[in-house]
Structure 1
Amino acid sequence: MVVERAVYLQLVERGVRTGEACRLVGVAERTGWRWRREAVAAAAAASAAGWPSRVVSARYLSLDERVVIGDRLRAGASPAAIAAELGRPRSTISREIARNQDPSGGGYQPFAAQQRAEARRPRPKLRKLATAPVLRDLVQDLLQDRLSPQQVAARLRHQHPDRQELHVSHETIYQALYVQGRGALRRELATALRTGRAVRRPRSTTTRPPRFTAPMLMISDRPAEADDRAVPGHWEGDLIIGKDGQSAIGTLVERATRYVLLVHLGTRGRSAEVVRDALLDTVATLPQHLKRSLTWDQGAEMALHHQFTLAADMPVYFCDPHSPWQRGSNENTNGLLRQYFPKGTDLAGHSREHLTAVAAQLNRRPRQTLGWDTPAERLTKVLTVTS
């Protein structure tokens, strides 16, 4: 009926009377009068909303398509039949009817539906924290108390289980901190986060070629016993870097006991040769049953991983790019170590004896994940059982 409607309206614009125009087009006179009323209403709505001056993507339903939907629904057609006629997915038509029909029960009115769709379309929309001052103040107080966004979101749900208006996702909090829309959280609150970043760093989804010339064993190849921490002897390793990237300390964490070893590099730098030799010196103190594997990121310092594997009889597995959570125990330990070795300081001046003392202190710290045992106690049990 779209063609008939267009011809009818053209005839009326030329001055043809409604009855004659209906006869020429082949529709009932009451249909013609309805088309005229809807055309007048559409012109008024378009003028108020500024539709003629706006360019809308073809992926959105147009006013003409909504008119067809309205006509076909009155004729008893199903959403599937309307979708086939318009060349649209059935879900698009079903969603349009559900979202834009008259909420008071007046059925689907195409011009009112167009107005509702236009009203929802403007961007950017105000974010939840920008429109809810009470929620925003609660979130700011908890962030100021050094809670992470995920902890804030969980805490609000726990404290106010029946108040949906005080619930917010951690992603919304991150967006408010980093995107800074109107009424967003104070920018300085980002420094209260553990990372202290002023901007968000998106994770890359692109793949890259192998980092090293020698074949790498990836973390997906690591034995299942390492994943569930059931068997001791699987280690995670990394470097913490000093001022201007000129110094470093190696860190090793045993996955089952959380036992820490610190690798002394001193003033020798962090080349692949230096790291290989320092790791070999460190793991040489371990019994063979505690040298089952080492998991590392794809840093250049491990370019000679194959030589380390042969010399130590200890396979090295590599994490996927940009995936530090795959070495969660090591990342957590590195955060604890920054209390002893702050960022931006020269790490070359720390002696081997000092590193041993720091590691011993960490290994005496009780851990909740170990049932409040210390890593040293857990390792002692392992050595006692296997001796």
Structure 2
Amino acid sequence: MDSHFSFGPNGAFFAKSDSIWAWSDNNTLPEPLRLILEDPYHPQANKFPYDVAFPIEPGMFSMSWKTVKGEDYYEELFLGPRYTKLADFMRTIAQNGQHCTRTVFGPNASYFTISPSGYSWQNLPPILENDILGRIKKGHPTSVALGVHGSFVVLYSDGNVTFDVAQHYPAVDAMIRNAAENARRKGISYIALSPHAAGQYYVTYGDASASWNIPNEWTVDVTTVSKSLRPVGSAPLALAGVTGGTAAAAGFAAAQGQTPSTPSTLSTGLHAAAKLFHAYQDQQQQNTYAPQQTSFFDTSNSSPPSFDPSTLGNFDPSVLTNNGIDASTLVAGLDPANVVNGIAAIFGSN
């Protein structure tokens, strides 16, 4: 079963199964993400999303996906300086043709992500991190949920579960403790907690059923995705072609989303501006932020991933200072949190 649910800031969400996916609209998604999902003329238009997740901070996201051209891509330009560890991890595993799955973000710049080679995380609640380190050789984490005020759930491949949700997610606490119901529904297979609102969650079971507590306006799309879940161990469904506007027929569900009718200049301009901003940002903020970071790679892998920073190249902002141009002012104006409106004003919305 391939299930994933991400709660984002400002009422955003993304939900997926192994055959269809849905996302919030009404200007809740970061614009670069919306364009990848909705614009068929985007240079890397989405065919199938492997992983979509939202940090706590507005305007940011991470994504790994297959394009309509059949290429595998990952997007880490919009993670910001607090998640450089995750960006490095995404680049590292991409060298081996791998991508992240079930990435989750929580308070205090925390995150956890899974890949075929291993895991990466930072700033987890100490109890959770100690539990993962103590069990990781015996049972691999299959799902980690990070909620408000240090709440968490971690599911392991050997059937164990560790959790601290009683105070802020009492319904989830009751679900985990209900052994009879879990046995009837073949166990809990995935859990997501909202790090923005106590009590909100999304849970799937081994029999392909699901339970949730989410805002009412999400219910139709989330129900559609949940109905496409398959029992644990079932063969995945073939992907439907992205040809229509409904979840079942098109392979995607966008709440009131509209497909652009012409090639998007905004798509290309936005990503070019973001690359300039982050190249400058990386140089200015290098070694200025060092959060607690941990990565674990499976040492039994005969070809463990490697990362050579020299392959990234260098960016010298001094080239922008000719004729009195202040590079810091120029590039600060290209912050992805603000760049969308400026580019849209220049090129229009198409």
Q: Relative contact order (C-alpha < 8 Å, sep 6+): which is higher?
A: 2
TM-score surpassing 0.5?
A: no
Of Structure 1 and Structure 2, the greater strand share is in: 2
- TM-score, with length taken from structure 2: 0.19
- TM-score, with length taken from structure 1: 0.18
Structure 1 or 2, whichever has the larger Rg, is 1
